[in-house]
Amino acid sequence: MRSADGVLEDLAYGVAVAEPDKRLSYVNRRARELLMPAAAAGSADAPLTCCDAICDHLEPVLGGGCLSERARAAAAILPEVRMDLETGTLQSAAWVTASPAADGDRVVFHLRPGQPGDRRRRTEAPWAGRSADEAPDLQITTLGRFAVEGLDGPIGGDWLGQRPGQLLKFLVCERRRAVTSDQIGETLWPEAGPSESGNRLRYNVHALRGKLEPERERRGAGRFVLTPRGGYALVPARVWIDADRFEVEALAGLGAARQGLAEEAEGHLAEALALYRGDFLAGDPYLDFALPERERLRDLAGRALRARVRIAVASGRLDAAAEHGNRLAEMEPFDADAQRLVVEVCLRRGRHSEAHRRYSVYRKKLAASFGSKPGWDLHEVESDLAATIAVGQGD
């Protein structure tokens, strides 16, 4: 029979337990996905509390105060409220309830995914999942090869490299906001005037909807591309994008690692990096509007790989650390900290020749590309590692 924690890990909604001192002593997988992205940006020294992860985000609704204290004082389940979360460009929301545990001291939080900006304060059916008509029925792959897939299979063709495809890619890059006609026109048709770019935009929106929804009525509303207040936006409830899932898993993993939850962190980071099959819109390296998102996600992937290397080293899995380190070195060929970490793993494995070879290659690349030298040398890494091992043996 599985343990209670094992069962809670598989639940479709989040569960977190707060101790009397407000410290979160348990956070299941779904709750980590919702809460840890915000926690990943917090202090690495302090334990995660219910106020850090939940209560502070509810201040606009509740006017301040600790939800744990309210639940214990009420001695009952509190009404469900929506909590909006924002980490960088990642926006999410969760519906939250809190209730005192059977022992009367701890508080159990229940969380289920929501939509940012939803004006409801309560829900008709607590813990209900999405209805069938809200389930995403368009999947877009952006990490590595760009691909679009509907319920009936892949939606491919030359259009992906033409203006309708570029329009879709631009909407994916700007997926967390509605973009105006002028913004799209200035990006895709900078040489055209307002009237001409408006005509081109309307034509290509029609063409894009035709590709994504070939059976849509001629003047029917689109399911995937909406026009709120004259702008254009993808519908997040109906469009699944791998970059979003990668970001959720990566930030959840980094947040769990910060809290010392190595096993949980490894699970999230493994899923995130399995999704990261290449850079964002890698097939369009010169698409200017994709560059900021590409760099942002690439940086996050690098942070996730560093965390996996450190977790593997700490658990003594040096072969796994080397595997993750090699991928990191390829992704960040000029990053000093990444290259130093890879060299350190080589030394930990007793691969001194490989460590010297990697350092030599890194030094030559820096000199050839930037005319500079590394900010560290091999002897320094060897000395620091020896000191670290000595301290560990002393403990």
Q: For the chain, which residues make up each domain, given as ranges?
A: 4-123, 134-314, 333-395
Per-residue model confidence (pLDDT) at position 278: 95
Between CA 170 and CA 185 the distance in angstroms is 11
Q: How many CA atoms lie within 13 A of 337 on its CB side?
A: 8
Q: What is the pLDDT of residue 128?
A: 32
Nearest to 212 by CA among 261, 263, 171: 171
* Global confidence as pTM: 0.75
Listed as ranges, residues in the chain with pLDDT below 70 are 1-7, 38-46, 61, 87-90, 116-135, 217-221, 228, 392-395
pLDDT of residue 122: 35
pLDDT at residue 216 in the model: 74
- 29 pairs with which residues across the strands? none
Residue 105 phi, psi (nearest 5): -100, -45
pLDDT tens figures, 71-91? 888 777 887 788 887 765 567
Return the amino acid letter for 327: R
Region of residue 278 (phi > 0: left; psi between -120 and 50: alpha; otherwise: beta): left
Range 4-123 has CATH code 3.30.365.10: no
Q: Which residues pair with 93 in a beta bridge?
A: 84, 114
The per-residue pLDDT for 117 is 57
Look at residue 124 in the predicted model and tell me its pLDDT: 35
For position 130, what pLDDT does the model report? 42
Question: β-strands 147-150, 138-141: how paired?
Answer: antiparallel
Give pLDDT tens digits for 330-388. 999 999 999 999 999 999 999 999 999 999 999 999 999 999 999 999 999 999 898 88
Determine the CATH number of domain 134-314: 1.10.10.10
